[in-house]
Amino acid sequence: MSERIYLLPLWIRVWHWTNVLLIITLVVTGISLHFADPKLPLVEFSLAARIHDIAGFSLVAVYGLFVIANIVSGNWWQYVPKPPGVLERCKVQGKWYLWGIFKGEPHPYRVSEEQNFNALQAISYWVIMYMIMPVMLLSGLIFQFPQLAPDRLFGFDGLLPVAIVHYLTGAAIVLFMIAHIYLGTTGKTATSMFGTMITGWHEH
Amino acid sequence: MFAYWRQGFTVLVLVLAGSVWAPASRAGTEAAPIDTATIEKNRKANEACFACHSAAGIKNPPKADLDLANKLKDSRLEPALFNPADHGVMDCRQCHAGNHYDPYPHAEVGKNETAPCTECHAAKVMRLEPQFNASVHAKNEGLKEKFTCNTCHNAHENIVALRLKDPHKIVAQDNHGCLECHNSDLTFAKFAPDGEKTPGVKRKRPDIDTIHDWLPNTKLHWNAVRCVECHTPEVAAKKMLSHEILDKEKAEKKCVTCHSANSTLKVRLYRHMAKDEQQRLGFTNSVILSNSYVIGATRHPVLDGIVIGLVILTLAGMLAHGAIRIVAALRRKGNKEQAK
Ligand code: HEM
């Protein structure tokens, strides 16, 4: 009765869960560094710094592999919202999230091997993975090698803009992650999309 | 009549002068500020000494066959360093037993007659001597006699933090005082006591970066904070930094002492700048920020508020959406059952 398609190859699933682990580690240790305070129950500062450094470098490596694999496999095409009618499809999708979903209406677009993401997903994933992430990684790398940052800037330490960019892109990723995990429950059942990311199989 | 007026005038002058000079002389044993005329006079007098005691003097000695290049090879004396220093306003001979040094060759006795710090800084020495005596260097039997105030303080070059202002310069000067020994086998060996198990053999200098390898970005820290930030006990704000150098058991190891909103750096390295704190652009500890971005200490409360607010809003939005979904689903289920 239910129809299955094999949607996600192994490498995407392995990459995805590695990414999840690293980013959660980075978020927890990043929060511990930024809000460091003897009175708050956070990860101890030097431990947090050590873990953050290692996880940070790992994420840079994992991201590099992700970009290469995307180019080689052609998976990058999934992230491109395809005209015509992108705006129209975004509107329809948005309406479904805000209204149709409550009435139990079916998903407005059908997932297929050719078109894994809906238009809203494609745009937000594209922004996060190809705009926010590179900036986040680059600012992290400069943070790692502070001698790369300018010495002074407008009377402040040159690391200040790097730190702010790092902090704000980190915050953007946290916001994305909250929404991302929640929207993961909007599949056929609340857990079916998580299942797909584990097994690779999508059920219509 | 005229004599009367003259007498009155003299009294007036004396009274006025008295009220002007009183605060200065009340400092008593403390070194008093020096007026510009005296400074001019001292600078002029010092030129006689700089004729030999300077790079230019060594190159062009006032007399031939003095062999200054050899005799003064370890000297760093230089008007450009001496004049801006704390003691740069003084006549060399105030510390270097006057008449012994005017002629050259200098008299042998002069060597033992360098004025001790107490002579002019009695009150300060009294205050900090107990701290000094409790420090690792004074408690070390083999080291004690060799360790004096000018081991760390270069009387010819040092500029007190208050006047130096720029924290990078303060760090460079004060760390130089420690690293001169702790980063040089040559100097360290001159002071190091014999090892406990190896009498007659000097104790080895432990590598400074290895000792502190638990401190990430060690080199970065050496340029941004002073050894005394961690190796002295905390004192009340506005008080002079303690001279009790702490051993490895008591030294500060907790990162959040500096890396937190209530950073100790405010009352240590940035003590002299604390009054300049203006919350520039709304940053906490913005005085520090002009020199160093210190994770955890130099944050922006408004920015943090916005970020935390957005996270809470997103979470709340998702929870509300989820709750409506569940309620709607239950409703639909109920309706379906009714329809049956
Ligand atoms: C989702 C990913 C990440 C998040 C949420 C995150 C978050 C943070 C936060 C909040 C801080 C404290 C900075 C401050 O107080 O201004 C920080 C520091 C830092 N981050 Fe990240 N970060 C992430 C990824 C990375 C990556 C990929 C790298 C490196 C390649 C990196 C390198 C650093 C470094 C070097 C520091 C300074 C502290 C240290 O040396 O451990 N971060 N991060």
Is residue A54 less than 8 Å (CB to CB) from chain B?
no
For residue B36, tell me if it sits in a domain. Answer: yes
Structure tokens at A89: 């499809």
More confident residue, B286 or A59: A59
What separation in Å is there between the alpha carbon of A33 and the centre of ligand 1?
8
> pLDDT value at position B61?
86
For residue B107, tell me if it sits in a domain. Answer: yes
Beta A4-6 vs A201-203: how paired, if at all? antiparallel
Nearest CA to ligand 1 atom 9: A30
Is residue A203 less than 8 Å (CB to CB) from chain B?
no
Residues B147 and B234 in one domain: yes
Residues B263 and B237 in one domain: no
Residue A74 clears pLDDT 90, i.e. is over it: no
Give the domain range for residue B108.
Answer: 24-114
Residue with tokens 């689903």: B329
Is residue A159 less than 8 Å (CB to CB) from chain B?
yes
Are A179 and B314 a contacting pair at CB < 8 A? Answer: yes
Contact B232, B252 (CB under 8 A): no
Nearest CA to ligand 1 atom 31: A140
For residue B237, tell me if it sits in a domain. Answer: yes
Distance between first and last Cα of chain B: 130
Number of folded domains in chain B? 4
pLDDT in single tens digits along all 340 residues of chain B = 444 444 444 444 443 443 333 333 333 456 777 888 999 999 999 999 999 999 998 888 888 788 888 888 888 899 999 999 999 999 999 998 767 777 778 877 777 788 999 999 999 999 999 999 999 998 888 788 888 898 899 999 999 988 888 899 999 999 999 999 999 988 888 888 877 777 777 788 999 999 999 998 898 899 999 999 999 998 877 788 899 999 999 999 999 999 999 898 988 898 888 777 667 777 888 888 888 999 999 999 999 999 999 999 999 999 999 999 999 989 888 888 887 7
Question: Does residue A170 have its Cβ closer than 6 Å to ligand 1?
Answer: yes
Contact A174, A163 (CB under 8 A): no
Distance CA B135, CA B247 (A): 8
What separation in Å is there between the alpha carbon of A144 and the centre of ligand 1?
9
> pLDDT value at position B29?
52
Chain A CA closest to residue B303: A168
* Final residue before a domain boundary, out of B224, B253, B282: B253
For residue B19, tell me if it sits in a domain. Answer: no
Interface probe with A: pick from B321, B326, B330, most Cβ of A within 10 Å: B321
Please name the fold of domain A4-203.
Fumarate Reductase Cytochrome B subunit (1.20.950)
More confident residue, A82 or A26: A26
Task: Report residue A154's pLDDT band, with 50, 70 and 90 as the boundaries.
Answer: confident
> pLDDT value at position B30?
65
Interface probe with B: pick from A37, A51, A151, most Cβ of B within 10 Å: A37
Q: Out of B283, B295, B298, B311, give the residue to mutate to test ligand 1, the one with the largest number of ligand atoms within 8 Å of its CB.
A: B295
Could you tell me which of A170, A101, A105, A119 has the C-alpha nearest to residue A140?
A170
For residue B93, tell me if it sits in a domain. Answer: yes
> pLDDT value at position B26?
33
Query: Which residues of chain A have a CB within 8 Å of the CB of B255?
Result: 36, 45-46, 49
Helix axes A159-183, A133-144, angle to 10 degrees: 140
> pLDDT value at position B65?
80
Are A36 and B296 a contacting pair at CB < 8 A? Answer: yes
Query: Which residues of chain B have a CB within 8 Å of the CB of A50?
Result: 216
The whole-chain average pLDDT of chain A stands at 90
What is the ipTM metric for this complex?
0.90
Q: Which atom of ligand 1 is nearest to the CA of A34?
A: 15
For residue B225, tell me if it sits in a domain. Answer: yes
Query: Which residues of chain B have a CB within 8 Å of the CB of A156?
Result: 280, 289-290, 293
Are B255 and A175 a contacting pair at CB < 8 A? Answer: no
More confident residue, A38 or A116: A38
Distance CA A133, CA A60 (A): 10
For residue B5, tell me if it sits in a domain. Answer: no
Residues B197 and B288 in one domain: no
| Cα distances (angstroms) measured from residue B104 to each of A192, B62, B158 | 96, 11, 27
Residues B183 and B291 in one domain: no
> pLDDT value at position A2?
61
Distance from CA of A148 to the nearest CA of B (A): 13
Which residues share a beta bridge with B114? B96
Is residue A46 less than 8 Å (CB to CB) from chain B?
yes
Interface probe with A: pick from B307, B311, B331, most Cβ of A within 10 Å: B307
What separation in Å is there between the alpha carbon of B285 and the centre of ligand 1?
21
Could you tell me which of A25, A17, A24 has the C-alpha nearest to residue A197?
A17
Which of B260, B314, B325 is the closest to A101 by Cβ?
A: B325
Q: Where are the domains of chain A?
A: 4-203
Question: Does residue A27 have its Cβ closer than 6 Å to ligand 1?
Answer: yes
> pLDDT value at position B14?
40
Question: Does residue A168 have its Cβ closer than 6 Å to ligand 1?
Answer: no
Distance CA B214, CA B217 (A): 9
Residues B181 and B198 in one domain: yes
Question: Does residue A163 have its Cβ closer than 6 Å to ligand 1?
Answer: yes
For residue B1, tell me if it sits in a domain. Answer: no
